[in-house]
A and B are shown apart, each in its own frame.
Chain A
Amino acid sequence: MVEALSYLSRFGVKVFRRNTVSNKFPFIASSVLALVVICALFGPWIAPYQATAISLADAMTPPAWLEGGSTAHLLGTDNLGRDILSRIIAGARVSTVIAFYAIVLSGLIGTGLGMAAGYFGGVVDAVISRIIDTQMAVPSIPLAMLFAAVLPPGEAMVIFIIVLSYWTWYARIVRGEVLSLRERDFIALAKVAGVGTPTIFVRHLAPNLLNTLLVLATLQFGSVIVFEAGLSFLGLGIQPPQVSWGGMLSDGRNFIEVAWWLITMPGLAIMAACLASNLLGDWLRDTFDPLRRQVL
């Protein structure tokens, strides 16, 4: 698997060099991401209604542009008359909060272990690399099932599961970067000058990894949103009454024959957030290091 992936990524370098067309700043993608973050931060003040406010009189109102719809509920309402737009805004908060913690934690753990493996080599590298291999050999969804079965459901559990599945992203790539960085003169000179190992890590290695980490974090944002939506859709992630996009899809599924907007709107939100994060991540990658496109 690792062989195959490394081959494919080496191969990818060629692909993307050839595809270099333009490298304009992805304005729309960034705006979408900014919108998601704004909804997450200021959701309660922006949303027209409370996300959990039930109003049975308005139940199953179609979106405003359809017959029977009204501008009071732009994207319609669900079976309990809850406003879809308000719920999507509330869902953005959950998705963003989870993505934030998951990215920070998996980034820190992965970067730390990756740096240690790449810098010290030898036994440390062997042990950490085997752990990475093992982690990658267990598909993440079954792993999620395992912990969903034993841990209390909720945000903390979802974050734990995501960190467990994603830290290897950072560890693998950081290890590779550090392997080549440690051969560079400035590291050797720092060592000669008597700089301690912790300082080398923080002052000399870390700044050189920032670009890579930023690209990874941006790409991970979209991936985490989809992963969390899947878990919540199964009913194993965020629990009602807390609102999440995956949970909305799961609720809407029961009314698929009468109200198409219930499963369409939250899905569009997931798609937009993920697409935006992929586009911005790709752009960052190309901007920082045009030759190493697609290697990440």
Chain B
Amino acid sequence: MTRYITNRALQGLIAIFGALLIVFVAQRLSGDPVALMLPMDASEAEFTAMREALGLDRPLLVQFAIFLGNALTGDFGQSYQWNAPAMQLLLDRLPATLELAMAGLFFAVLLAVPLGVFSAVHRGGFLDRSAKVFAMLGQAIPGFWIGLLLILFIAVELQWLPAYGRGTPAHLVLPAIALGWYPVAAMTRTLRSSMLDVLESDYVRMERAIGLPERTIVWRYALRNAAVPLVTMVGVYFANMLGGAFVIEVVFAWPGVGRTVVDAVFARDFPVVQAGVMLSAVVFVVVNLLVDLSYGFIDPRIRRG
């Protein structure tokens, strides 16, 4: 088990290093960073001084080393817009993103579990077939469009829920649905098939033979075993939501990490963009690592393999 953990952690570190390299290369692609920091009419001497202060006159490898060193301490420079440390700025927004991701996941699981279980129990029935169509639509409709439609129907036409911003729990509902929309489909199909497997197993047959009520068998015993692949999936989607809720956050004017980074792109506030990319890469790697570990914990075969 120790070796398994070490391997996984090492892979994660390589991935984060790779992400840092990509960020560094992108930074160099942006041309002269000094041009963004100094006023338009700065003299040549000021440019040279600034470059020296930032170490931009030194070899690329040294620059990368400096960049790495700063990155390890979470220092991606000052935001040009806000004049605050870029990473700190994003960490302040992280709770909002976390809140939205958890709500989205909650919505997805809330819908996927009953849908998956019913589709498996009444296989081939009306609900099963509807769930299949639903899953197909779920994969083809972008979440941000669902978000727009929700705003149109629920917030504008019916005026049931607020459309923009963060505050009351009511503000959370629409963005959570839009964000959870995509995973519902995949989770439902996964749970359905693992339920079908479990329902055919020997112990379920035995439970039926000793006369346990079907409801108890399905919800208490079968679901518990069938939910294992779902747990993995929840983790993978959680990582995705934390790192990728950019468009949904913009649609609903949600004050999270994603929206801040998008704003920063428009403002050419490069330190914030860099910090944002690294933050989502680290979150993504860490959550996936935890998923893999929990997975090895649940299924001993993986640990050994």
Q: Interface residues, chain A, CB within 8 Å of chain B?
A: 1, 3-5, 7-8, 11-12, 14-15, 18, 130-131, 133-143, 145-151, 222, 226, 229-230, 233-236, 249, 252-253, 256-257, 260, 263-264, 267, 270-271, 274-275, 278-279
Contacts and interface: CB of A to CB of B under 8 A. Distances in A.
Contacts of A229: 142, 145
A252 B149 CA distance: 12
A270 B69 CA distance: 44
Interface stretch (B7-15, B91-99, B169-177): B7-15
A168 to B, nearest CB: 12
Contact of A139 (B240, B262, B295): B240
Interface string B8-48: 00011011111100110011011100000000000000000
A253 B11 CA distance: 42
B54 interface: no
A12 B270 CA distance: 41
B277 A275 contact: no
B127 to A, nearest CB: 15
B196 interface: yes
* Contact residues on B (Cβ < 8 Å of other chain), bracket: 35 or more
Given A3-B302, A138-B277, A235-B266, A270 B233 contact: no
Contacts of B22: 138, 143, 146
A270 B142 contact: yes
A7 B15 contact: no
B79 interface: no
A219 to B, nearest CB: 10
A146 B273 contact: yes
15 contacts: A1-B292, A4-B233, A4-B295, A134-B14, A136-B15, A137-B15, A137-B18, A137-B19, A137-B284, A147-B26, A230-B247, A252-B148, A256-B151, A270-B142, A275-B140
Interface string B272-303: 01101100110011001001100110010010
Contact of A234 (B141, B247, B270, B296): B247
Contact of A150 (B30, B139, B239): B30
B26 A146 contact: yes
A267 B152 contact: no
A66 to B, nearest CB: 15
A133 B141 CA distance: 28
A5 B233 CA distance: 9
B239 A145 contact: no
Given A134-B15, A149-B273, A235-B266, A8 B30 contact: no
Contact of A267 (B148, B151, B192): B148
A150 B29 contact: yes
A66 B261 CA distance: 40
Which of A15, A142, A151 has the most chain B CB atoms closer than 10 A to its own CB? A142
Contact of B142 (A1, A3, A230): A230
Binding site secondary structure of chain B: helix
B63 interface: no
Given A143-B277, A146-B273, 10 more contacts: A1-B236, A15-B189, A141-B244, A142-B277, A146-B26, A149-B26, A149-B270, A151-B29, A249-B148, A270-B142
Contacts of B29: 147, 150-151
B250 interface: yes
A278 B261 contact: no
A226 B18 CA distance: 26
A150 B27 contact: yes
Complex A-B, nearest 5 residue pairs according to Cβ-Cβ distance, in ascending order: A134-B18, A137-B15, A15-B193, A139-B243, A275-B140
A234 B262 contact: yes
A8 B233 contact: yes
A139 B288 CA distance: 12
Contacts of A270: 141-142, 145
Contacts of A264: 149, 152
Contacts of B26: 146-147, 149-150
B152 A260 contact: yes
Contacts of B240: 139
Interface in B169-193: 189-190, 192-193
B11 A11 contact: no
A146 B149 contact: no
B265 interface: yes
Contact of B246 (A8, A14, A142, A249): A142
B137 interface: yes
A147 B265 CA distance: 9
A133 B289 CA distance: 13
Given A134-B18, A138-B281, A278 B246 contact: no
B270 A278 contact: no
